[in-house]
Amino acid sequence: MTNSDSISTTKTVNKDSRLSIHFSLTLADGTPVDGTQDGEPMTFTLGDGTMIAAFEEILLGLSEGDKQQVSLDPRETFGFPDEENKHWMNRADFALDSELEKDLMIEFSTPSGEQLPGIILELKEDQVLVDFNHPLAGYELIFTAEIIRIH
């Protein structure tokens, strides 16, 4: 065996890695939230905004084939619900063909063109209370990832 044979060529995930992973995201009680288990792996570059920082940090240092599972507190992911993110809106501002009901999630467009989910909390004759907190705010999340490929 030569010295060059003993040098490891194993790639590990670093802050600029492009990688393909299978992942699952569940609530602490096991309720599935998101994932790739039944489909193709997700391919992205760390830092491109595809995943939140807490999920990316879990992947750092892993190699192809490695699996990792971590429980994350709301402070590490989507924070806690904030009462200031609940807003009363005029019912007339909603499309006439929309059947509004409690717990319905609707996508709203911000002035900058971003999409923002809102959940209807309460309906009155001419007003609708919408919660713009992230739907996962306040939840402990279990993130499981397997590194399929480091490109």
Reported as a single tens digit per residue, the pLDDT across 3-34 is 545 555 679 999 999 999 999 999 999 999 99
Q: Are residues 23 and 64 in the same domain?
A: yes
> Can you give the pTM of this predicted structure?
0.77
Residue 2 has pLDDT above 70, yes or no: no
Which DSSP helix (H) or strand (E) runs through 53? helix 53-59
Q: Are residues 29 and 98 in the same domain?
A: no
User: Does the residue 7 lie in any domain?
Assistant: no
The percent of residues in the chain predicted with pLDDT above 90, rounded, is 77
Q: Which residues pair with 141 in a beta bridge?
A: 27, 72
User: Does the residue 72 lie in any domain?
Assistant: yes
Structure tokens that stand for 52 in this block: 């939140």
